[in-house]
């Protein structure tokens, strides 16, 4: 038994890794290990012999087991020390100067738009990006069979088989925030709602995720003339010019009546985009007088209240103002692009301090 002890205590002490240690454990105290075999021999002994050998073997087994776990812990500690020597980080190092993050043009433009409309008395509202088809469609007077549902290339959320709850969608526009805001605050109301929207579309001026800002003004004496004035003031303030040429085009949206789309004169000559010149028009927003059914669906009495709504493409007006020709680059996270088109975090857009300077 002394020989066995010396042999295994020695081998355990010399083991260099956990695999060797495991082999030794099997060899010594495993089911068919040397000590287990010795224990089986106890049966052949006389009771007197057994009284001595039994406890001694058990003690030896315990001793070897504790030697094994002590060595295992020591090997783990050594491995951790080794890692700590290799993987370290000096958290007291100074920051790298000359490298700043920048504000993405979408954030910049959202701030600019918010500042302009805040000045006209609009507050900021929000809604979820995943919404029910009631808020995204039905409440906005777009029934199930309406072609606008197909036209919008809607992303539907997956439902498990047998789950018959009504579908949810990635909102295709910010218009559902009209409904949510009127439900919550009633009328009169004056809000804008900037945020992300989603449609399955991809080319130079379309990405599957893009940004809109919704506008809504409801009161007892609002007309199309107010809509026109607000949009013209907005466009002039946004482009920081006294005159911009706009085209109000008669259009159709299920949630407004009458409806108008607004285009802005621009040129793409030489691949650069310029506002206010050229023979091209870029559509930047949809608008109109809120449909009585929409007011009704949101719990506002159309006999008393009326008003206008609009939805502006934030990415579109960012491209126009800052001469960015391809919308897809907005979302590539290319650092060179971000350094070129990004804005300083310290220049907060305000009307009095200048929107973009
Ligand atoms: N929701 C419309 C769109 O995404 C824009 C719009 C908003 C039109 C409000 C009229 C009124 O195209």
Q: Under a CB-based contact definition with an 8 Å cutoff, are residues 178 and 294 in contact?
A: yes
Same domain for 41 and 165: no
| Residue 295, pLDDT score | 98
Q: Is 89 helix (H, G, I), strand (E, B) or coil?
A: coil
CA distance 255 to 138: 10
List pLDDT tens digits, range 247-283.
999 999 999 999 999 998 888 888 777 777 889 898 8
| Residue 88, pLDDT score | 86
**Ligand 1 centroid from CA 293, angstroms:** 16
Q: Is the CB of 178 under 6 A from ligand 1?
A: no
Indicate whether 109 pLDDT > 90.
Answer: yes
Residue 355 included in any domain = no
Residue 195 included in any domain = yes
| Residue 325, pLDDT score | 82
Same domain for 167 and 68: no
Residue 218 has φ and ψ, to the nearest 5°, of: -125, 130
Residue 110 included in any domain = yes
Average model confidence (pLDDT) for the chain? 91
**Ligand 1 centroid from CA 227, angstroms:** 14
| Residue 6, pLDDT score | 92
Of 86, 119, 147, the last residue of a domain is 86
CA distance 172 to 141: 14
pLDDT band at 147 (very low <50, low <70, confident <90, very high): confident
Alpha helices in the chain (DSSP H): 2-14, 18-29, 34-40, 47-86, 105-119, 133-136, 147-151, 176-185, 224-239, 292-297, 314-322, 335-341
Give the length of the chain. Answer: 357
Split into its structural domains, the chain has a count of 2
- Exposure string over 224-240, b if 16+ CB within 10 A, otherwise e: eeebbebbeebbebbbe
Same domain for 315 and 232: yes
Q: Is the CB of 286 under 6 A from ligand 1?
A: yes
Q: Given 3-state DSSP classes, what are the helix, strand and coil percentages for the chain, each rounded to the nearest 5?
A: 45, 20, 35
Q: How far is CA 139 from CA 177, 254, 304, in A?
A: 11, 10, 19
For 261, left (φ over 0), alpha (ψ -120 to 50), or beta? beta
Same domain for 246 and 204: yes
Residue 226 included in any domain = yes
Residue 160 has φ and ψ, to the nearest 5°, of: -65, 150
Atom of ligand 1 nearest to the CA of 287: 10
| Residue 163, pLDDT score | 87
List, in order, residues 6 or more apart from 323 with CB less than 8 Å away.
272, 273, 274
Tell me which H or E stretch contains 169. strand 168-170
List pLDDT tens digits, range 113-127.
999 999 999 999 999
**Ligand 1 centroid from CA 215, angstroms:** 9
Q: Is the CB of 175 under 6 A from ligand 1?
A: yes
Same domain for 134 and 75: no
List pLDDT tens digits, range 25-71.
999 998 888 998 888 888 898 999 889 889 999 999 999 999 999 99
| Residue 169, pLDDT score | 93
Q: Under a CB-based contact definition with an 8 Å cutoff, are residues 187 and 305 in contact?
A: yes
Residue 336 included in any domain = yes
| Residue 8, pLDDT score | 92
Residue 68 included in any domain = yes
Atom of ligand 1 nearest to the CA of 140: 1
List, in order, residues 6 or more apart from 10 with CB less than 8 Å away.
none
List pLDDT tens digits, range 282-335.
888 999 999 999 999 999 999 999 999 999 999 999 988 898 888 889 999 888
HSE, side-chain direction, 13 A CA sphere, residue 154: 24
DSSP assigned state of 240: T
CA distance 286 to 272: 25
- Bridge partners of 80? none
Q: Is 197 helix (H, G, I), strand (E, B) or coil?
A: strand
Average of per-residue pLDDT across 232-250: 89
Same domain for 284 and 245: yes
Average of per-residue pLDDT across 164-175: 91
Same domain for 154 and 31: no
Indicate whether 235 pLDDT > 80.
Answer: yes
Of 53, 86, 119, the last residue of a domain is 86
List, in order, residues 6 or more apart from 59 with CB less than 8 Å away.
none
Same domain for 48 and 191: no
What percent of the chain has pLDDT above 90? Answer: 59
**Ligand 1 centroid from CA 11, angstroms:** 79
Of 86, 113, 135, the last residue of a domain is 86
Predicted TM-score of the model (pTM): 0.71
CA distance 335 to 160: 40
Same domain for 111 and 80: no
Q: In CATH, what number is assigned to the domain containing residue 297?
A: 3.30.930.10
**Ligand 1 centroid from CA 253, angstroms:** 7
Q: Which of 216, 252, 286 to mutate to test the pocket of ligand 1 (most atoms within 8 A of CB)?
A: 286
The whole domain housing 38 covers 2-86
| Residue 151, pLDDT score | 66
For residue 303, say if its preceding peptide bond is cis, omega within 30 degrees of 0.
Answer: no
Same domain for 82 and 144: no
Q: Under a CB-based contact definition with an 8 Å cutoff, are residues 178 and 298 in contact?
A: yes
Residue 259 included in any domain = yes
Vertex 184 angle, CA 181 and 187, to 5°: 75
Residue 357 included in any domain = no
Same domain for 21 and 118: no
| Residue 304, pLDDT score | 98
Same domain for 147 and 182: yes
Q: Is the CB of 180 under 6 A from ligand 1?
A: no
Q: Is 115 helix (H, G, I), strand (E, B) or coil?
A: helix
Atom 12 of ligand 1, residue of closest alpha carbon: 286
Q: Is the CB of 311 under 6 A from ligand 1?
A: yes
């Amino acid at each position: 038994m002394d020989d066995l002890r010396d042999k295994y205590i020695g081998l355990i002490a010399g083991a260099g890794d956990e695999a060797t240690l495991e082999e030794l454990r099997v060899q010594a105290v495993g089911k068919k290990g040397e000590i287990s075999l010795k224990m089986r021999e106890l049966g052949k002994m006389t009771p007197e012999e057994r009284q001595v050998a039994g406890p001694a073997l058990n003690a030896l087994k315990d001793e070897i087991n504790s030697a094994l776990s002590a060595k295992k812990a020591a090997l783990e500690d050594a491995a951790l020390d080794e890692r700590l020597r290799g993987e370290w980080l000096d958290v007291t190092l100074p920051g790298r100067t000359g490298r700043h993050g920048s504000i993405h043009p979408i954030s910049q433009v959202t701030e600019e738009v918010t500042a302009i409309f805040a000045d006209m008395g609009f507050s900021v509202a929000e809604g979820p990006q995943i919404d029910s088809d009631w808020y995204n469609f039905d409440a906005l007077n777009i029934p199930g069979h309406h072609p606008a549902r197909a036209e919008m290339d809607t992303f539907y959320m997956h439902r498990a088989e047998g789950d018959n709850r009504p579908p949810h969608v990635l909102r295709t526009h910010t218009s559902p925030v009209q409904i949510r805001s009127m439900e919550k605050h009633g009328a009169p109301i004056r809000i804008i709602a900037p945020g992300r929207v989603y449609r399955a579309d991809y080319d130079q001026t379309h990405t599957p995720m893009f940004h809109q800002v919704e506008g809504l003004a409801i009161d007892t004496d609002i007309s199309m003339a107010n809509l026109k004035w607000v949009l013209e003031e907005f466009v002039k303030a946004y482009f920081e010019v006294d005159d911009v040429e706009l085209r109000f085009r008669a259009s159709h949206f299920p949630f407004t009546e009458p409806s108008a789309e607004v285009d802005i004169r621009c040129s793409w000559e030489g691949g650069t985009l310029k506002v206010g010149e050229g023979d091209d028009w870029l559509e930047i927003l949809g608008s109109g007088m809120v449909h009585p059914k929409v007011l009704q669906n949101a719990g506002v009495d159309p006999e008393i209240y009326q008003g206008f709504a609009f939805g502006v493409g934030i990415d579109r007006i960012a491209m126009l103002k800052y001469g960015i020709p391809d919308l897809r680059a907005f979302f590539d996270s290319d650092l060179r692009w971000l350094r070129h088109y990004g804005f300083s975090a310290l220049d907060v857009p305000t009307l009095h301090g200048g929107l973009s300077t």
